[in-house]
């Protein structure tokens, strides 16, 4: 089982990034997915999630209106489109998968995790 994020990097305030998470070892058909971020020494912060079917989504207050989560079960891949990035969005971003139809809002509810990708928002 492996989740591999990509797409992080350095971006100026107001810019955009699209994070990808490719899954191998299982099929996303049966998994809800989520995106979290983490600062050193802090707990993982929920950002966005989508149900296994893709029909239901949830966003945190920090993500709503700026971030969009999506998944393509045929490609076993999920994405997080991030727009209007701010310096306070700087963190390590992680994707996660949870067996079952419904997503969770807490990091403890997820079964598998990617290694994380660094996003730095700075001028």
pLDDT in tens, 53-92: 999 999 999 999 999 999 999 999 999 999 999 999 999 9
Q: Are 33 and 79 in contact (CB under 8 A)?
A: no
pLDDT digits (tens, 9 = 90+) for 44-58: 999 999 999 999 999
pLDDT of residue 30: 95
Nearest of 99, 101, 109, 2 to residue 46 by alpha carbon:
109
Kindly state the percentage of the chain with pLDDT values over 70. Answer: 100
pLDDT of residue 6: 96
In this predicted structure, the answer to whether residue 40 has a pLDDT above a threshold of 90 is no
- Sequential DSSP letters for 84-119: S--GGG-EEEEEEEEEBSS--SSGGG-SEE---EEE
Can you tell me the distance from the alpha carbon of 98 to that of 102, in angstroms, rounded to the nearest whole number? 8
pLDDT of residue 81: 98
Q: Are 121 and 15 in contact (CB under 8 A)?
A: yes
Q: Are 52 and 100 in contact (CB under 8 A)?
A: yes
Strands 45-50 vs 57-59: parallel, antiparallel or unpaired:
antiparallel
**Average pLDDT, integer, range 109-121:** 97
């Amino acid at each position: 089982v492996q989740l591999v994020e990509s797409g992080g990097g350095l971006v100026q305030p107001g810019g955009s990034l699209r994070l990808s998470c490719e899954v191998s070892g299982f099929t996303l058909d049966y998994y809800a997915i989520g995106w979290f971020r983490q600062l050193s020494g802090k707990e993982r912060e929920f950002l966005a999630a989508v149900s296994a079917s893709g029909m239901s989504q949830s966003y945190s207050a920090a993500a709503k209106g700026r971030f969009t989560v999506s998944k393509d079960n045929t490609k076993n891949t999920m994405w997080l489109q991030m727009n209007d990035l701010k310096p306070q969005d700087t963190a390590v971003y992680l994707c996660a998968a949870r067996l079952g139809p419904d997503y969770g809002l807490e990091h403890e509810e997820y079964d598998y995790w990617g290694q994380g990708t660094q996003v730095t928002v700075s001028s």
